[in-house]
Chains A and B, each alone.
Chain A
Amino acid sequence: MSTSIGPDDVRAIIQNARTKVNVERLANADNLRDAGADSLDMMTIVLDVSEKAGIEVPDEDVEELSSIDEIVAYISRRTADEAT
């Protein structure tokens, strides 16, 4: 069953991923790659998000998950889709 997640959840995931991103200065709309996350960091972030939300993220959707706002919106949309 999928679970909705909020910005603070995503922020905690990014913090836990041990990236170069300064999470305290990261705005919800900031692009994570621009903020210092590399390709491997993004793999960890997407994996941890998918596990916390209880959904699989297909490869074609990964590019969409580029900021906290976009991650939250994506999970919210997927969660709503699965509820209907």
Chain B
Amino acid sequence: MSVGLLDIASFVPPDGRDVPALADALEVDRDFLESKLGTRRLPVMDPGMDTHDLATAALLPLLERHPELRDRVGLLMVVTQNPSGRGLPHTAAMVHHLAELPPEVAAFDLSLGCSGYVHALAVAQRFLQGQPPDRRHGLVVTADPYSKVVDPGDRNTALLFGDAAAATLLGPDAPWSIGHASFLTRGAASDAIAVADGRLAMKGRSVFDFAMKEVPRQVSEVLDTEGESPDSIDVFLLHQGSRYLVESLGRRLGAPPERVPVEIGVAGNTVSSSLPLMMESRLHDQSLRTILLAGFGVGLSSGTLLLRRREA
């Protein structure tokens, strides 16, 4: 039985930045903020927390919903590029301890940003399908608090990123199957999103051009391989880089706006948590049969895959 998606839980910190005030301080027009960036709330992880705490805050509710599966977990993957401490030990090891997972678990970090969720789902699925039948459940936790690295004085980034975490449970006999996945890396453009001297810097035009050129190509490849067309996809969940980027991409994909949700207003650009946060409310929506996921960003890299609801 192929491994697929079972459930998702999330954690969004209650505290956050006053976005309108920050926009005024940065001399960013309110209309631009609303119509182009789209952010309304930018959650910030509590200063007393570190990445493993943020990740665990999403994971524990998920485990509480599935207590019978805790001892069947064979994988814990934490997707982050802002790990706890200096990354050694890995954040997944700390989450493993806090979540009291059994010892027979492969726990490791996956270093990717906004494309991380798609990569993680594909890696997790392939890994788990090679595990013994009693260890074929897995946990993918995205937790990448950019509040650690965003420069509050940078107009290019300070109004975009919010902290959040999401935990996804995978396993056999799941309602959602993971279909064809496509990946792309342009390492020559790796300096387009980078941290230097502890501060994030982003070349917006490079990222925009990359997304607008590469994501439609990847989506076409995935749809062609799966025998689908843009008209047959119930919803396109695109990484929430900005309202403008999502809407522009949606037009390039030829997808009707109502099938390309813009939800960056909820918690900002939460990096690899962007897609699972949107998935969480849709996972149990029985009217949805196909969901296309597309994540793109740091690397520069992108990942696109199709989720399909299994027929009962």
Contacts and interface: CB of A to CB of B under 8 A. Distances in A.
A59 to B, nearest CB: 6
B68 to A, nearest CB: 49
Contacts of A62: 205
B36 A38 contact: yes
| Interface of A, helix, strand, loop or mixed by DSSP | helix
B36 A43 contact: no
Nearest to A51: B213
Interface string A33-47: 000001110011011
B204 interface: yes
Interface of A: 38-40, 43-44, 46-47, 59, 62
B210 to A, nearest CB: 10
Contacts of A39: 204
Nearest to B248: A44
Interface string B26-44: 0001001000100000000
A67 to B, nearest CB: 19
Contacts of A47: 208-209, 212-213
Interface hub of B209, B212, B213 (most chain A Cβ within 10 A) = B209
Contacts of B212: 47
Contacts of A59: 203, 205-206
5 closest pairs, A vs B, by CB?
A: A40-B244, A43-B208, A40-B36, A43-B205, A47-B209
Given A38-B29, A59-B205, 15 more contacts: A38-B32, A39-B204, A40-B36, A40-B208, A40-B242, A40-B244, A43-B204, A43-B205, A43-B208, A43-B209, A44-B248, A47-B208, A47-B212, A47-B213, A59-B206
Interface in B183-231: 203-206, 208-209, 212-213
Contacts of A40: 36, 208, 242, 244
Contacts of A43: 204-205, 208-209
Interface residues of B, number: 14
Contacts of B213: 47
Contacts of B203: 59
A38 B33 CA distance: 12
A40 B204 CA distance: 9
15 contacts: A38-B29, A38-B32, A40-B36, A40-B242, A40-B244, A43-B204, A43-B205, A43-B208, A43-B209, A44-B248, A47-B209, A47-B212, A47-B213, A59-B203, A59-B206
A79 B203 CA distance: 26
Contacts of B244: 40
Nearest to B156: A39
Nearest to B207: A43
B201 to A, nearest CB: 14
Interface string B238-249: 000010100010
A47 B248 CA distance: 12
A19 B204 CA distance: 18
A38 B28 CA distance: 11
A40 B205 CA distance: 8
| Most B CB within 10 A of own CB, among A40, A43, A59, A62 | A40
Contacts of A38: 29, 32, 36
Nearest to A39: B204
A47 B216 CA distance: 14
B190 to A, nearest CB: 16
Contacts of A44: 248
A38 to B, nearest CB: 6
A17 to B, nearest CB: 9
